[in-house]
Structures are given as structure tokens and as C-alpha cells.
Amino acid sequence: MERKMSRNERRHPKENIRQAPTIKELAIIKVGEYITNTAKIVKKYYFNAMRSNGISEVRANKIADEMEEMLKAEAK
């Protein structure tokens, strides 16, 4: 005969409990955030530098986007 489930078990079944991330997983997430933020800063820097050198806004934005994507791809 099965035992009766407690009130707490009915409200929070075991399959809903999520395991906490490991330190390695947290480190990977933090490094990813850092790289993303760095890529955004680099993109802004390149965009401003190209605009001050007379390159059109559309072209400067396109080149800066490519630079950002390249940095993110290298990080992976």
C-alpha cells in the first residue's frame, strides 16, 4: 500500500525541482556575458571611429556588426 502524499509533496512534485547549476556552468555563463558586453563596446568604438573618418552611417554600422559577430564567434 502506497503512503499518502504530504501536502508539500502535492504542491511541489519532485520532477519540478530544478538542479542548481554547477560552478563550471556559472563560469561559462559569466564569461559569455563578459564577451557579449565587450563585443558591444568594441562595436560602439568601431562605429564611432568610422563615422569620424567620414564613412557613411549604414556602412559603418554594417562593418561594426560584422566585427561584433566575429568576436562572439571567436569566443565560442
Return the domain boundaries, the chain: 22-75
pLDDT of residue 19: 76
Instruction: Give the C-alpha separation, 69 to 60, whole Å.
Output: 14
Report percent pLDDT > 90 for the chain. Answer: 0
From residue 38, how far is each of 12, 30, 33, 53 by CA, in Å?
40, 12, 9, 23
pLDDT confidence of 3, banded at 50, 70, 90? confident
pLDDT of residue 76: 65
Q: What is the pLDDT of residues 21-35, one digit of tens each?
A: 788 888 888 888 888
Q: What is the pLDDT of residues 33-70, one digit of tens each?
A: 888 888 888 888 888 888 898 888 888 888 888 888 88
